[in-house]
Amino acid sequence: MVSIMNAIMFLIKYIMLLAEILLLVLKVPYYIFNDVYRLIRPIKKKSVADEIVLITGAGHGIGKELAIGYASLGATVVCWDIDEKNNNETMNDIKKKGNDSVYAYQCNVADVKEVFSVAKKVKEEVGDVTILINNAGTMCIKSLLKHSPDEITRIINVNVTAHYWTLKAFLPSMIEKNHGHIVSVSSIAAFYNFHYGTIYCPTKSAVQAIMNSVSDELRTFSDRKSSIKFTTVYPFFVQTGFIKNIYFRFPWLIRELLPQEVALSIINAQRQNCKNQTIPSYWLSLYNAGRHLPNIVEKYMQDFLSYFINIKTYDVYVIYI
């Protein structure tokens, strides 16, 4: 009797496995077709009106443009930056446009106690954050051996560790309401490593890993019922005024991006629930195609499309993005 029951259970498991394989075979072409279709007819952008959007590094550059962009779309904007003066200027610039639903808080995102303290203040004074944009970042143009231990620690803390603190501060309320969106600004450097980026490039790859892991964690533990979205963006070099004297061999093909166009792309990616978005968009396709090439070919192509940073000028230059 026991052997018959075991045989039946084995048969049931075998049938279930075949059913899962069949479902997988049907799903793969469906989602491939769906992605192709979305290239022709993009997903409609969702509204962000009445959402509470918190942006780190909102004092200048991409962060400032993101704050202005979301405010113009009717969202309540919360600006975070370690630079209180520039952060308040962002808030005041938005208010001058007639948008009063904007707040500014000084915060060092690398300081866990400060993040939790200011996050509590935001919850009490503004409400629960529903869209979190981890934009703050820093880099230092130096060769590895010239980096001091303090510089290495600071870059990792701002670019990587800070993501854990903001996620722990704001994700619980999103999970409770089953509503929210996490956006992290990585970099093309996560895919294409460059000289003098020995510290910076790995931190941007880490951002990608964090986002993928947390997204998968929520999907698994919610039995695929989580409505919280995750978007990771990978901009090329951005013209923030901090990096100068970059030489591009083919400037008509590869150029620095303006903060305004990067911010617009980030907002669109978030509103269309894109999981990964390179800026410009063709970089992701190039990367995926390049992964199948021999390593030596990839290096030759990088040399052919080379850019150059004057290391003598930026030997001790710290860049906040």
Using alpha carbons only, how large is the chain's radius of gyration in Å?
22
Q: Report the interhelical angle of 162-177 vs 112-125 (nearest 10°).
A: 30
Instruction: Catalogue the long-range contacts made by 288-295 (C-beta closer than 8 Å, 24 or more residues apart).
Output: none
Strand partners, 185: 233
196, 200, 314, 320: the active-site residue: 200
* Residues 20-38 as b or e (16 or more Cβ within 10 Å = b): eeeeeeeeeeeeeeeeeee
- Our answer to whether residue 287 is catalytic in this structure is no
Tokens found for residue 286: 């190039």
Tokens found for residue 142: 């130096």
Q: What is the DSSP string of 9-29?
A: HHHHHHHHHHHHHHHHHHHHH
Ramachandran area for residue 58 (φ above 0: left; ψ -120 to 50: alpha; else beta): alpha
Q: Alpha helices of 99-236 — where are they, by DSSP H?
A: 112-125, 149-156, 162-177, 200-221
Q: Which of 80, 207, 208 shows the shortest CA–CA distance to 156?
A: 207
Active site residues: 200
